[in-house]
Structure 1
Amino acid sequence: MRHKNRLSITLFVLFLISNAFAQDPPGIKWKQIQTNHYQIIFPEELLSDANRVANTIEHVHQGIEQNLKHEHKKIPILLSNRSVIPNGYVGQAPWRSEWFNIPLMIKEMGSTEWYRDLAVHEGRHIVQTNYMNQGVSRFLGMVFGDGTQSLYTGILIPSWFWEGDAVGIETALTHSGRGRSSYFNRTTRALILEGKKFNYQQALYGSFKEDYPGHYELGYFLTDHIKHAYGKEAWPNIINKTLRWPFTLNPFFPFSRSMKKTTGFSLHELYGNTFNELGENWGSQLEKLNESPANILSPKTKIKTSFLHPAMTPNGEIIALKTGLGNVPTIVKIGEIETVLKKISPSANLFGYHSNGTHAVWSAYDPDKRWTKRSWANIRVLNIDTGQLRIITSKKRLFNPSISKNNKLIVAVSFSETRQCSLMIMDAETGKIIDQVEAPNQGLIIYPSWSNDGREIVFTSQKYRGRAIYIYDREKRKFETIKAESWTEIFRPVFYQDYIIYESIIQGIDQLVAIRRGDKKEYQVTARKFGATNSTVNSKGQLLFNDYTSQGDAVAVITLNPDDWAEISSDRKQLILGSKINPKDQAIYDGTVPKKQYEIGDYKPALHLFNFHSRYIFDDELSPSLGLQSDNILGTMKFNADLIYNQNEKTLTERIKSTYSGFYPIIDFELGYGKRDVRFGPFTQKVENTRDSIKFAVNEKWHELNFNFGMSIPLKNSRRGITTHYSYAKTGIKFTRRSDTHHHYSFDKIPPNVRVKELEKRSDRDGKIMPVYIEGGMFSIDESAPRDLGNPGWQIYGYFGGAPLGGLWKGQQLSIRMQYGRRGLGKHHFIGTLLQYETNQGDYIMPSKVTFPYGYGWYFPESIWRLKIKYQMPLVYPDLSLPFSVSYLKRIHGGPFVDAASVSGHPNMLAVGGGITFETGGFFDIKFPISFSINYYYHPLNGNSGIRLDFE
């Protein structure tokens, strides 16, 4: 990944939870290796892996630069090992790459060893970022630093290029890149071959009514087509032309203009050419298929919905994991009717789910309460009949669980912080470990599965030479090799008589293949149009599996008859699907990877707290400023120093602020000093003993020193099912010292014989203001499906502040906000309720946290209650590109609201009305989602009405 682009919705959400500025727990002994081009930073326990990473990334350094060779800027690579989130990314502000040690155990990732895969894919992102340092981008980088340059190139160069080009490199340079995976392209392939055409904007912006290819898939096809249709210099030329004065030459479509100049075709024309060619290739491929029959058991759906990992109950009903645009992951029972059994965490899609028909087991994400880079993956067990849910492990790192037929044992993949992978067998009731063993090749174990009698376990394992199938006899504690390591696609093996059935690619489509244990001969079991996956054999000897179409993964069943199977070669060449990359090119790891022993040095976090990388001209409140930004590599300290110009007062303030997250409490610090100038008036004052009056205004000017200090700690951070529970507490002081206060008077007209002062020193307004506050919040929020208009749950926030230490001004505030949301009357409808209460006493030293209903002018309230109820419902999903590609409309939703407030000493407020919200995907082919609402309000108490535009 580059920055935070998602691999999937699940991975994206989890990555936000453990984001680029999260923290590891203290006590880690950090080490470093310096190579010619990279700095490897790692925990001491990863010393051996770090040395291998250093050799690996230097080995691929020149190969990954192909076509985009540019001046290399040395980059730190941080190896993290406390999180269970499988990921890697490159970030520019600060400049670094981070590699998490848990491999991504999903089908499309292929069989390349994890760090080797990251070296090629993330290494290519490093190359891309370096190459973007030219033209206006280089100028912006020199003036404003990495943050502005990253934003600029991220807007001009679409995300599909960054990821598609990287997927192309991993496909060309390894035996197992995603471009070789039929699972990777199945979304596009099914849509095209079923005649569901989609345009560029639909693929770019996505949809709520159809599942279009994501930016990895879209980008791979487009970048690969241009590379081979227009030569290896096409993409360098396109990028060069885009980044050199782009908005002057074409202010709206600089990227498309550059493509037109280079290839003779616009972006939309190239998109059409690419997908027409893919359709022809896949169509001819499909003509050769003699489709095998299968019975579909799952219900038809209006929108894309999958019923994954099917299993059959003793009475013939189907247990499946239902997912889709309209559903969070839900375990369902399919019989005469569909019954919801349990909604579960989306992390189960990533960490592994299995059912034997009577029980379901899965691994789910469990975060640490404080340290956002420390997390676990623990096993949940659901009894299908009783509905009882148990969590049988704690603070473990377990993946791909499978429960035995008799429900007594569970096998899972254990992956330690030292990157030791093993097969772990445990008691299904207690979670007690019974056996633990590494694979024969000491590789990554994926998706173990039980034999009927519970004596054997079949699984795949991969290291440096591809993937193999092994069987483990748990009584003899011995392994049997079923299929030796190779680059043939192998996934999810299961037992059937004396065969092992597994997923593999046959003529560009995922099919189910059987290998006989005795003679190792292989046979094709299925021949489905778009892919057969997730197989299991029921007690009747039938094969249940997922059959893919553009509507999702359906549940299919066939009767197994080995006499009907056609024998196939065991040495199948894996096609590079949809690509013209020369299959004879040598993979980058076929050569010897060096084993140089690098010098290991200490990395002392205290000496690297400051890492200035960006300059800015607007602060976080969009005030004009000149500022410097620093973020250290370990994500424990943020620091800003700036000079801020107050446009209203026309004054300057010097400020430094910092957040340090290396301690258990998170510490915030801010120090500022500057001039203030606040204008009051105009006022009118009658002159004594005359009929004259004076009109004047007052400018109060003073010097102000601000010192803010705060500490916050999390009180709870947990995930149960689809619900996230979180709470925190924070306390702090906001010290202000006023000095040299003067009133400057300006007069419209001074009557004769009247003396006035134009300047008056006001020492009475000099002094200290010292509010102290405590605040806290808690929430319990459910996951939502992509189509849902809100997240059910509740939130509570409380704030209490005052001036117990005395000072120039004294005030006190109590503010409480409660929010509650639930599903509405229809599918994806949402009802949101907001209740606020606030009291303010004494001087105005703490800003109010309550807004007023639509159409009412705001003033500082002494005491206020507010209640707002809003109903939202989807109206239409247009998937409409507006003329000239000005924008793209994905969804329109709306609904009524009522908003009431009661302020002490003032008339009550009441606004009723309704609004329509337009959800857009971006503007001028730039992906930048924005939602805006047009709201009509009416005041029944006074008859006023109006329309208001809000951005959401």
Structure 2
Amino acid sequence: ISAVIPQKCIAQYFVRGQDPCSLKWEQIKTEHFRIVFPKDFAKEAQRLAYLLERAYGPVSESLGQEARRIPVLIHNQGVESNGFVGWAPRRSEFFSQAPPDNYGQDWLEQLVIHEFRHVVQLEKLNHGLTKGLTIVFGEQATAAVAGVYLPFWFIEGDAVATETALSNSGRGRIPSFERGLKAQVLEKGTYSPEKAMFGSYKDYVPDHYELGYLMVAHARSHYGRDIWANVLSDVGRKPYPYAFNRALKKHSGHTTTGLYKETFEELKKHWQKDPLFNEPGVEEPLNPTSKLYTNYYRPQFFQDSMVVAVKTSLDKIPRIVSIDPRGKESTLCVPGYIDYNSLDAGAETLIWSETCPDIRWVHRSYSDIFCLKSGSRKRLTKKQRYFSPALSPDGQQIAVIESTPAYDFYISIIDANDGKLIRRYDPPVGTYPMQPSWSEDMQSILIISQDGNGKEILELKLADGSFASLHKAGFIEISGPEMIKGLVYYNAAYCGTEQVYVLDPQKGTSTRLTSAAFGAHDISINNKGRGIYSFYTSDGLKIASLANVSESIAFKNNDNYYGNGFDSILSSQEQRPEFKTDSNLLKAYKTEPYSKWSGLLKPHSWGPFYPNAADYEIKPGASILFHNLLSTSFLSLGYEYDLQNNYGDWSGSYEYKGWYPELSMNIKSGKRENIFSGGDNNTSLEWQKTSANLKALLPLSFSRGAYVQYFRPSISLLYIHAGKTARTLDFFQENQAMTFEYRLSYSLLHRSVARDMRVPLGFSVNVAFMHPLLKEFSAGKILTATSVLYLP
């Protein structure tokens, strides 16, 4: 979830991609929002409209700013869980698929609060000099002020603080959200402000969401709810150099550096008092040691004595690895875009889910199930939306969570051999099911269920489709239930740090099994009663073992929650919205068709200059920019003046990306002057140059395992005309050239990580053929080929 702010004024548009051209669109207009959505999302669009209006006042209150009506675009064809706010043009975009491991808050409620807070932040900037700049330059002015002066840690930290304050959940209440900084500070020390805010290629540095939340919440707890409203107001009114630091100093007495140091000095003292930090630690990790930050997700026993896990690190893309009893690690498979927490192991089979992008449409993707058996990787399903696979004890069936674009969810069972659907179960009304696992007798499936009351563990009886509640956690974070020999092992944060707990369903008693200082989760137990689980350190997730799990269980519940207290302070400063979505309370909003051609000629930015995005230059002149809501149509018109050569050009460019091939057109026309020397006299020749380009491009991409392929065939019509002006000399002859160009581009590239300065391995080939279209133009045919080879 993010706010997208251009970091360069030249970057007028943020274009993430397009939706399939076959979609039919509809819209709902409310007092403060215009929601545009695919037709099959109509039912949830009504609820979303209600949620947006209910959140409008509470989200705006602590910044003291009412927002103008804004369009909200819904993408429901993919499996990504995200959202962003763009400001040139001004809009918000929601990706409606709920995360497979969502915390105890409805996903759409989370999106509404977080993303609308970004809208209010930017509206708050639009005062004083910034408002004047907006009149002169359009919406790009506010985006530029935000990009230059607002640090990302504040933009995202304030939004996370708001989602926490205005709900019973939110990331500020999830212990794993702060564990990266907590472990780093207590084990490695507090990094410099520069390293903490800008990151590092050498060490793992928690992102600006985690850093920002703690700094924003600390400032609100010490200097009052209105501190950030005052800072934003000052930055907007006077966007001068160091505006954010000057405003923060004025209202808190600290610069950014001072606030960072104060925040983590206090948090370090608090974290050092955590009872778990002072308890005996876990055993030595089973995994090989590494100097780099490395994570081992979902460790499980495989073939009884071997351990398998999803491994990620700073220098390599994710892979599935095995660790033998001697500690030797081997790579079993390099998957595609794997969900790290989806790995499940059977006697001879590994299964997991991967995000599979569409070859053309960025906003359409799938989540499919893959398996590894006898060293062979196989894709079990195609173009499905299956999450969190769980292999049955006999290895013949897989339980998954299935979703639809209409925001419906099911607990489904598919065949483990061919991926075909066997049966589908509806979850209880108004709930979101997550993380299924089988009982040992295969008569039931456990799930985590989330609704308006938080989370609970439910047991689905497969014979009749009924559900029984085993454990209600409310808004305390729980996940990953596994039933083993009548007991339910699950992850929970009852003590303020995520740990492994054990539940006896018959007695209703629960106890903590692990005592990792920064969190532990995802236990796996083999036939001999030995257990392994992940535990977090400042060097990443490691694998620990329990020699005998049953001997470690003592049923007692004496945990006291130990948190930083920011969530309570933030909530006390806000008026929480009531998201009662009972059908009797929902207002029926009028739904209207939305045309794909709507807003094609609505300008969003303009200015007395001409931005040349290709050369990263800004020249004297004028420009006006158009960009429709669906991000399919882009038009720019302008005039640029070349000071060096003393001439100007009128230009226009148009792109349409709403069909399978992308279409573009560019035209540029202006006077030119050539000086001819002859004896003592120089002759000036003025003429008119006009050039145009029509192009059709098919941008296709394919991904498989460690590699991504791009195939981009295109055809272009190039036209150049040299014509006369009123001052052209008589001997000048008009001329024109028209050329067809056919181009094929293909790339096969190894996926990269943050440490890679370039593609680590791969190649690209570009072949082009040009020929003249006009007979009177005597140029010949041209065939070119270029290639690039990338080596480690």
TM-score bracket, normalised by the shorter chain, equals: over 0.9
Q: Contact 1:2 / 1:91 at 8 angstroms: preserved in 2?
A: no
C-alpha spacing 1:435/1:679, structure 2 compared with 1 (3 Å): farther
| Mapped partners of 2:675, 2:339: distance in 1 | 59
**Among residues 63, 67, 83, which one is paired with 1:68 in the alignment?**
63
Partner of 1:405: 393
Q: Which structure: larger Rg?
A: 1
Q: Contact 2:60 / 2:66 at 8 angstroms: preserved in 1?
A: no
Aligned residue for 2:197, secondary structure, equals: helix
Question: 1:397 corresponds to which letter in structure 2?
Answer: R
Matched, 1:784 2:752: yes
**Stretches of structure 2 lacking an aligned partner (at least 5 in a row):** 7-12
| Mapped partners of 1:679, 1:2: distance in 2 | 54
Matched, 1:123 2:116: yes
Partner of 1:522: 510
Q: Contact 2:318 / 2:334 at 8 angstroms: preserved in 1?
A: yes
Residue deviations 1:140-175 (CA, integer Å, cap 9, x gap) = 211111123202211201011110001001111111
Question: 2:524 corresponds to which letter in structure 1?
Answer: T
Q: Contact 2:713 / 2:744 at 8 angstroms: preserved in 1?
A: yes
Partner of 2:248: 259
Question: 1:799 corresponds to which letter in structure 2?
Answer: A
Q: Contact 1:508 / 1:577 at 8 angstroms: preserved in 2?
A: no
Deviation of the 1:267 alpha carbon: 1.6
C-alpha spacing 1:653/1:19, structure 2 compared with 1 (3 Å): closer
Partner of 2:10: none
Aligned residue for 1:260, secondary structure, equals: helix
Deviation of the 1:120 alpha carbon: 0.7
Matched, 1:551 2:539: yes
Aligned residue for 1:628, secondary structure, equals: strand
Partner of 2:666: 670
Deviation of the 1:609 alpha carbon: 2.0
C-alpha spacing 1:400/1:605, structure 2 compared with 1 (3 Å): same
Q: Contact 1:458 / 1:471 at 8 angstroms: preserved in 2?
A: yes
| Mapped partners of 1:368, 1:281: distance in 2 | 47
Alignment of 1:590-629 (within 5 A): 590=578, 592=580, 594-616=585-607, 617-620=609-612, 621=615, 622=617, 623-629=619-625
| Mapped partners of 1:706, 1:410: distance in 2 | 60
Q: Contact 1:468 / 1:486 at 8 angstroms: preserved in 2?
A: yes
| Mapped partners of 1:655, 1:484: distance in 2 | 64
C-alpha spacing 1:152/1:802, structure 2 compared with 1 (3 Å): farther
| Mapped partners of 1:562, 1:56: distance in 2 | 49
Partner of 1:110: 103
Deviation of the 1:286 alpha carbon: 3.5
Question: 1:395 corresponds to which letter in structure 2?
Answer: K
Deviation of the 1:591 alpha carbon: 6.0
Aligned residue for 1:627, secondary structure, equals: strand
**Among residues 369, 379, 393, which one is paired with 2:369 in the alignment?**
379
Aligned residue for 2:763, secondary structure, equals: strand
Partner of 1:482: 470
**Among residues 481, 492, 497, which one is paired with 1:509 in the alignment?**
497
| Mapped partners of 1:542, 1:477: distance in 2 | 33
Q: Contact 2:393 / 2:438 at 8 angstroms: preserved in 1?
A: yes
**Among residues 326, 345, 353, which one is paired with 2:343 in the alignment?**
353
Partner of 2:736: 768
Partner of 2:359: 369
Alignment of 1:584-733 (within 5 A): 588-590=576-578, 592=580, 594-616=585-607, 617-620=609-612, 621=615, 622=617, 623-679=619-675, 683=677, 694=679, 699-714=684-699, 716-733=700-717
* Aligned-CA RMSD value: 2.5
Residue deviations 1:546-603 (CA, integer Å, cap 9, x gap) = 0110011111111212674242279x87956555616667873556455111111121
Question: 1:165 corresponds to which letter in structure 2?
Answer: D
| Mapped partners of 1:655, 1:421: distance in 2 | 50
C-alpha spacing 1:294/1:387, structure 2 compared with 1 (3 Å): same
Q: Contact 2:5 / 2:146 at 8 angstroms: preserved in 1?
A: no
| Mapped partners of 1:557, 1:19: distance in 2 | 47
| Mapped partners of 1:138, 1:409: distance in 2 | 60
Alignment of 1:3-14 (within 5 A): 3-4=3-4
Alignment of 1:78-117 (within 5 A): 78-106=73-101, 110-117=103-110
C-alpha spacing 1:203/1:811, structure 2 compared with 1 (3 Å): farther
| Mapped partners of 1:520, 1:184: distance in 2 | 29
Identity of aligned residues (%): 27
Question: 1:188 corresponds to which letter in structure 2?
Answer: L
Partner of 1:802: 771
Q: Contact 1:165 / 1:223 at 8 angstroms: preserved in 2?
A: yes
Q: Contact 1:441 / 1:462 at 8 angstroms: preserved in 2?
A: no
Matched, 1:311 2:303: no
Matched, 1:822 2:773: no
Partner of 2:275: 286
Partner of 2:9: none
**Among residues 127, 130, 133, which one is paired with 2:126 in the alignment?**
133
Aligned residue for 2:743, secondary structure, equals: strand
Deviation of the 1:704 alpha carbon: 2.8
| Mapped partners of 1:127, 1:453: distance in 2 | 53
Matched, 1:25 2:20: yes
| Mapped partners of 2:574, 2:230: distance in 1 | 26
Residue deviations 1:700-747 (CA, integer Å, cap 9, x gap) = 421233332111124x422111211120111111222222169x9xxx
User: How many residue pairs end up in the alignment?
Assistant: 774
Higher mean C-alpha displacement, 97-106 vs 279-288: 279-288
Q: Contact 2:409 / 2:432 at 8 angstroms: preserved in 1?
A: yes
Partner of 2:427: 439
Higher mean C-alpha displacement, 354-363 vs 527-536: 354-363
Higher mean C-alpha displacement, 204-213 vs 548-557: 204-213
Residue deviations 1:404-447 (CA, integer Å, cap 9, x gap) = 23322212111111111111211111001111112224422221
Deviation of the 1:368 alpha carbon: 2.0
C-alpha spacing 1:193/1:39, structure 2 compared with 1 (3 Å): same
| Mapped partners of 2:68, 2:204: distance in 1 | 38
Matched, 1:142 2:138: no
Q: Contact 1:741 / 1:761 at 8 angstroms: preserved in 2?
A: no
Partner of 1:747: none
| Mapped partners of 1:820, 1:124: distance in 2 | 45
C-alpha spacing 1:700/1:543, structure 2 compared with 1 (3 Å): farther
Deviation of the 1:270 alpha carbon: 1.2
| Mapped partners of 1:678, 1:349: distance in 2 | 63
Aligned residue for 2:99, secondary structure, equals: coil
Partner of 1:328: 317
Partner of 1:391: 379
Greater RCO, 1 or 2 (C-alpha within 8 Å, sep 6+): 2
Q: Contact 1:309 / 1:355 at 8 angstroms: preserved in 2?
A: no
Higher mean C-alpha displacement, 466-475 vs 266-275: 466-475
**Stretches of structure 1 lacking an aligned partner (at least 5 in a row):** 7-17, 686-693, 745-758, 824-952
TM-score, normalised on structure 1?
Answer: 0.78
Matched, 1:46 2:51: no
| Mapped partners of 1:699, 1:807: distance in 2 | 28
| Mapped partners of 1:434, 1:96: distance in 2 | 42
Deviation of the 1:638 alpha carbon: 0.5
C-alpha spacing 1:354/1:574, structure 2 compared with 1 (3 Å): farther
| Mapped partners of 1:246, 1:629: distance in 2 | 24
Q: Contact 2:43 / 2:406 at 8 angstroms: preserved in 1?
A: no
Deviation of the 1:292 alpha carbon: 6.2
Deviation of the 1:473 alpha carbon: 3.0
| Mapped partners of 1:400, 1:232: distance in 2 | 40
Deviation of the 1:778 alpha carbon: 0.9
Partner of 1:187: 180
| Mapped partners of 1:574, 1:465: distance in 2 | 22
Partner of 1:339: 330
Alignment of 1:150-299 (within 5 A): 150-247=143-240, 251=241, 253-286=242-275, 290-291=279-280, 293-299=282-288
Deviation of the 1:218 alpha carbon: 0.7
| Mapped partners of 1:309, 1:393: distance in 2 | 22
Question: 1:144 corresponds to which letter in structure 2?
Answer: F
